Structure 1
Amino acid sequence: MVTLPSGTSMNVCPSAGICAQLCFARQGTYRFSNVRAAHMGDLLLTVDDALPRFEEMMSEELQHRRYRGRFVRLHDAGDFHSRAYLKAWLRIMDSAPEDVSFYCYTKEVCL
């Protein structure tokens, strides 16, 4: 569970079970204020009205030649937190060059 700047709570790993208590993203460098701020900024791009801008930014970024022939990992912490977010990633992947591959670790099998 993450508290957004608005004060509302958001579950960024809706299907996490016991792993939520042991999550590596709750310890180490993830607790540094600058790292937390960067992750919060990224998260805020994926919710509500900001999601279309996130999709646009990611689609544009993935056109760069540095991604050609590479694997791109989605998420280093968190998961697909909503159906809209998952669908955005599917569109992003569909718009990426064919030689860019994607992978992720997820527990979200019901979205």
Structure 2
Amino acid sequence: MTRGRLPVRAWEKAEPIAEMRERVQHFLREPGGICDFEILSPGLVSHIKIACVRRLRCPMAEIGRELVDEIAEMRLIASSKEISRELWLCSPRYTFRFIRVLDSALAELGRDGSLLPAAAPGA
């Protein structure tokens, strides 16, 4: 469960990024909601949750520890080649990092939703 104020400004900053990917469908924002919106594109539905974090530049393992509740909620959504579960991490300066929630791991995405190559340790 997230704490603090609703990330209204982060939602506003995320809107143009989402619109570049395709059609955006917003969900009713209420307590207990899993996703903030979804992106409908040919052959893919992306369920998006925005999470405000203090640090973006950290290892994937740290993200997994810090956002364990959000990741568990996202895993309630079915996953397949046609369904993507994504956490959009937003820094205090409204910079974004995009993470796909897989069944047993996390993967980094680019702004366009494509998977980024995994970075080598220490890179």
When the two structures are superposed, what TM-score results if normalisation uses the length of structure 2? 0.31
Q: Higher RCO, 1 or 2 (CA under 8 Å, sep at least 6)?
A: 1
CA radius of gyration, larger in: 1
Structure with the larger strand share: 2
Structure with the larger helix share: 1
When the two structures are superposed, what TM-score results if normalisation uses the length of structure 1? 0.33
